[in-house]
């Protein structure tokens, strides 16, 4: 009836917000690409000559780039493995009926509400500090040499901190998925002679596959851009041991004041994130089809 | 073999006793139906037999062996659930083969048994589909197939037809009865539908509030209900139960007369009344009769079509040999 007409009207009416969002996205992206083609250093005022791909070749040939790339993948992969496995186990635990269930669940979710900078500072100063940290006390109590986590295993420490932040998210999604499993299926499997482990691997795990896919996709988006935790704890160091791509871009543009190379790094990061996204969708996206 | 004996079995959830001490024997090869209104404990009783719930006290014996503390998988029973409980991520073949896989049977034997079960249940063309791609009746058959392949001592059915539409329910009822005749295995079947109970059972167990009201063949229950509860529950439409002076005339607290045992007449009879709503089923007509001087509205079943309209006067006469008499406790007076 009036669908044709109302569709046109609807398009007209949503156009301002679409244009705004488009501008919101396209202008910064366009400027980043534009800056990435200029020699533009804030320490050298004056002309900003067009230099073509020079910034890109400089950024990509920087030995720090390869390290940052590997660190980024290790960080994302490590946190994903820890949160998914830990989330499933915690979910199984929290799915049990117990006294004080509600409070325990809220406590488990709590780390997710702590700001990244705050949680990183807490971990750095109260847990991992080699003199005053809780882990140092523990080591001394056991008669061991305290470990300076952030100096000796910087990337692992950051993976630990970030995992702690994201574990609640994974637990929450996986717990709700577990609760949606039909109990009669588990009872049927029990009647069919499946023990607890068989029930877990044949019934629960397949049921969780979709939730795990959601967790992996969402977390990857956020984990590719981890920044605050690195800035507050290690500053990307020692050397480049805990520098990821996001931090490298920051270092180029704001520590070395090189806007051109920083922008080039940003564009490279966008391309890499998209490559990772395509691979992920190829690998696990089919789980999302009903 | 599949002889199941319950000996003084009770079940409590916390303080609440849902099954008071209960004795029951299910013989090998019998088709036993547990029937009762919802909340009467029939599903709980089935789950106790299956081992999905632990009994609070008493003993369950399967083939004379104490199975009270045997885990469900070791009892040699197979269960078909109300929701079918198929594994959605597995193909039909894998669903049916799952219990065999859990029993670590080798692949060749497994395939042979699955193919046999599929041929019995007309599922051969669907073996590679997922449960989500099947209709309700087909899912039901897969669930039964999963039970058959284990060659259990007894099958337990928990309201298996309640999710199907009326026509399919009648078909599946026949298929399950046919299956029982083929396999000759003990079957325990839970339903709230007394038509299912009457048509399928060798033996019906009528449950009410966790207690067994009567055990017997369908016709025994129909002809000689032990009390007013069974009298009212078995038979469709319900038996007319009449209390008061009219019952006292027959030296009883309550008298019962089934709708099909009331003769109608336009001229004379025991009770005179006015016709209310009539339900025409073609083969039968049910009509409700008001203002007979009794407290209760009477339901009458007449075969064929009856030319009676709303408001017509009618005389009813009970067939005296079909009259049931009950005492003040509701028990049958012989």
Number of helices (H), then strands (E), in chain B: 9, 18
Residue B238, min C-alpha distance to chain A (Å): 34
CATH of region A53-288: 1.10.3720.10
Q: How far apart are the first and last CA of chain A?
A: 32
Residue B75, min C-alpha distance to chain A (Å): 9
Domains B4-230 and B237-326 share a fold: no
A163 confidence band (pLDDT: 50, 70, 90): very high
A166 confidence band (pLDDT: 50, 70, 90): very high
Instruction: With H, G, I as helix, E, B as strand and everything else as coil, classify residue B159.
Output: coil
Residue of A nearest to B100 (CA): A192
**pLDDT mean values, one per 10 residues, chain B (334 residues):** 85 87 89 89 89 88 86 88 89 90 88 89 88 87 89 89 85 89 90 89 90 91 91 88 85 89 84 87 87 82 80 87 88 84
Whether residues A182 and B150 touch (CB distance < 8 A) is answered with no
Residue A119, min C-alpha distance to chain B (Å): 40
Q: Which pTM was predicted?
A: 0.78
- Which residue in the set B50, B82, B85 is minimally distant from A185, CB to CB? B85
- Which residue in the set A188, A194, A209 is minimally distant from B81, CB to CB? A188
Q: How far apart are CA B296 and CA B262, in angstroms?
A: 15
| Domain boundaries along the sequence of chain B | 4-230, 237-326
A190: contact with B, CB 8 A cutoff? yes
Q: What is the structure's pLDDT at A162?
A: 93
Number of helices (H), then strands (E), in chain A: 14, 0
Q: Scan for tokens 């366009």, then name that residue.
A: A30
Whether residues B99 and A192 touch (CB distance < 8 A) is answered with yes
| Domain boundaries along the sequence of chain A | 53-288
pLDDT in tens, A49-79: 888 888 888 888 888 888 888 999 999 999 9
Q: What is the structure's pLDDT at B34?
A: 92
Q: How far apart are CA B67 and CA B19, in angstroms?
A: 18
Residue of B nearest to A183 (CA): B85
Instruction: With H, G, I as helix, E, B as strand and everything else as coil, classify residue B267.
Output: coil
Instruction: With H, G, I as helix, E, B as strand and everything else as coil, classify residue B6.
Output: strand
Burial of B236 (0-12, 13-18, 19+ CB in 10 A): middle
Q: In what order do the strands lie in the sheet with B271-280?
A: B262-265, B313-318, B271-280, B284-290, B298-303
pLDDT in tens, B177-192: 988 998 889 999 999 8
| Superfamily of chain region B237-326 | Nucleic acid-binding proteins (2.40.50.140)
Is pLDDT of A263 > 70?
yes
Q: How far apart are CA A275 and CA B52, in angstroms?
A: 50
Architecture of domain B4-230: 3-Layer(aba) Sandwich (3.40)
Residue A175, min C-alpha distance to chain B (Å): 19
Whether residues A202 and B98 touch (CB distance < 8 A) is answered with yes
Kindly list the residues of chain B whose beta carbon comes within 8 Å of any beta carbon in chain A.
50, 52, 71-73, 77-79, 81-83, 85-90, 98-99, 102-103, 146, 150
A290 confidence band (pLDDT: 50, 70, 90): low
Of B264, B239, B238, the residue nearest B254 (C-alpha): B239
Q: Which of residues 150-189 of A touch B (CB under 8 A)?
A: 182, 184-185, 187-189
A201: contact with B, CB 8 A cutoff? no
Taking one residue from A and the other from B, the number of pairs with CB-CB distance under 8 angstroms is 58
């Amino acid at each position: 009836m009036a669908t044709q007409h109302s569709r046109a009207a609807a398009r007209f009416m949503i156009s301002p917000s679409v244009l705004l969002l488009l501008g919101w996205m396209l202008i910064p992206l366009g400027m980043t690409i534009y800056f990435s083609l200029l020699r533009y250093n804030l320490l050298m005022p004056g002309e900003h000559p067009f230099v073509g791909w020079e910034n890109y070749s400089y950024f990509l040939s920087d030995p720090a780039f390869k390290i940052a790339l590997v660190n980024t993948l290790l960080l994302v992969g490590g946190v994903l493995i820890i949160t998914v496995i830990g989330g499933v186990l915690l979910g199984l635990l929290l799915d049990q009926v117990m006294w004080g269930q509600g409070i325990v669940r809220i406590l488990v979710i709590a780390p997710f509400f702590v700001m990244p900078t705050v949680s990183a500072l807490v971990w750095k100063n109260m847990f991992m500090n080699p003199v005053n940290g809780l882990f140092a006390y523990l080591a001394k109590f056991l008669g061991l040499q305290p470990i300076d986590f952030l100096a000796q295993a910087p990337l692992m420490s950051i993976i630990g901190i970030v995992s702690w932040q994201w574990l609640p998210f994974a637990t929450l999604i996986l717990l709700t998925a577990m609760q949606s499993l039909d109990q009669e299926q588990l009872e049927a499997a029990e009647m069919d002679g499946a023990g607890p482990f068989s029930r877990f691997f044949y019934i629960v795990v397949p049921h969780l596959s979709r939730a795990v896919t959601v967790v992996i996709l969402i977390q990857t988006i956020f984990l590719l851009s981890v920044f605050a935790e690195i800035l507050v704890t290690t500053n990307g160091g020692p050397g480049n041991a805990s520098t990821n791509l996001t931090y490298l871009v920051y270092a180029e543009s704001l520590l070395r004041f090189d806007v051109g190379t920083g922008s080039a790094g940003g564009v490279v990061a966008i391309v890499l994130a998209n490559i990772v996204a395509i691979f992920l969708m190829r690998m696990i996206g089919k789980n999302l089809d009903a | 073999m599949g002889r199941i004996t319950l000996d003084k079995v009770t079940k409590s959830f916390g303080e609440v006793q849902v099954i008071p001490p209960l004795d029951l024997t299910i013989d090998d090869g019998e088709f036993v139906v547990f029937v009762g209104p919802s909340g009467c404990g029939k599903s709980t009783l089935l789950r106790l037999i299956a081992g999905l719930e632990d009994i609070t006290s008493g003993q369950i014996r399967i083939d004379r062996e104490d199975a009270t503390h045997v885990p469900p998988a070791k009892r040699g029973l197979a269960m078909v659930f109300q929701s079918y409980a198929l594994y959605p991520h597995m193909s039909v073949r894998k669903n049916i083969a799952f219990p065999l896989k859990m029993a670590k049977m080798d692949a060749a034997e497994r395939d042979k048994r699955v193919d046999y079960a599929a041929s019995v249940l007309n599922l051969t063309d669907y073996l590679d589909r997922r449960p989500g791609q099947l209709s309700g009746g087909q899912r039901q058959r897969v669930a039964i197939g999963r039970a058959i392949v284990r060659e259990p001592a007894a099958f337990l059915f928990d309201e298996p037809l309640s999710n199907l539409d009326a026509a399919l329910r009648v078909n599946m009822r026949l298929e399950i009865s046919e299956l029982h005749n083929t396999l000759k295995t003990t079957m325990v079947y839970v339903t709230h539908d007394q038509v299912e109970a009457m048509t399928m059972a060798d033996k019906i167990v009528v449950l009410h509030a966790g207690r067994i009201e009567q055990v017997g063949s369908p016709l025994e229950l129909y002809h000689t209900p032990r009390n007013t509860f069974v009298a009212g529950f078995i038979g469709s439409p319900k038996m007319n139960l009449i209390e008061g002076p009219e019952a006292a005339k027959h030296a009883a607290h309550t008298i019962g007369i089934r709708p099909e045992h009331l003769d109608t007449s336009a001229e004379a009879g025991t009770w005179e009344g006015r016709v209310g709503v009539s339900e025409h089923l073609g083969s039968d007509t049910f009509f409700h009769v008001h203002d007979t001087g009794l407290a209760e509205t009477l339901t009458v079943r007449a075969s064929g079509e009856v030319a009676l309209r709303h408001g017509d006067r009618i005389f009813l006469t009970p067939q005296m040999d079909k009259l049931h008499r009950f005492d003040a406790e509701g028990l049958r007076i012989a």
